[in-house]
Amino acid sequence: MKDTMIGVDLAKNVFQLHGASMAGQVKFRKKVTRVQFRHFMAQHEPAIMVMEACGSASYWAREMVRPGHEVR
């Protein structure tokens, strides 16, 4: 069962990440580049990811499903 929810603010160069437990307790807040984002998510246990709707959201959703994350 996925016990972490990660909110992602997609931007051109830097992404903002906000991780929280399913109960709402903040686990982390990070500012990462695209390369760091891909590496961080590959290392992170499977989580529920929430992304804003924008031009690159579909691409990143497909990339995040590969390592086992659930994207909404």
Q: pLDDT of 8-57, one tens digit each? A: 999 989 999 999 999 999 999 999 999 999 999 999 999 999 998 888 89
Which residue is it, tokens 């659930």? 70
At 43, the amino acid letter reads Q
**What is the reported pTM?**
0.88
Burial class (CB in 10 A: 0-12, 13-18, 19+), 49: buried
Q: Identify which of 50, 53, 55, 54 has the alpha carbon closest to the alpha carbon of residue 70.
A: 50
Q: What is the CATH number of the domain that holds 10?
A: 3.30.420.40
Instruction: Pick the more confident residue, 55 or 70.
Output: 70
Structural domain boundaries enclosing 62:
4-71
Long-range contacts of 32-41 (CB under 8 A, 24+ apart): 37/8, 38/63, 41/67, 41/69
Does residue 1 register a pLDDT over 70?
no
Structurally, how many domains does the chain consist of? 1
Does residue 5 register a pLDDT over 70?
yes
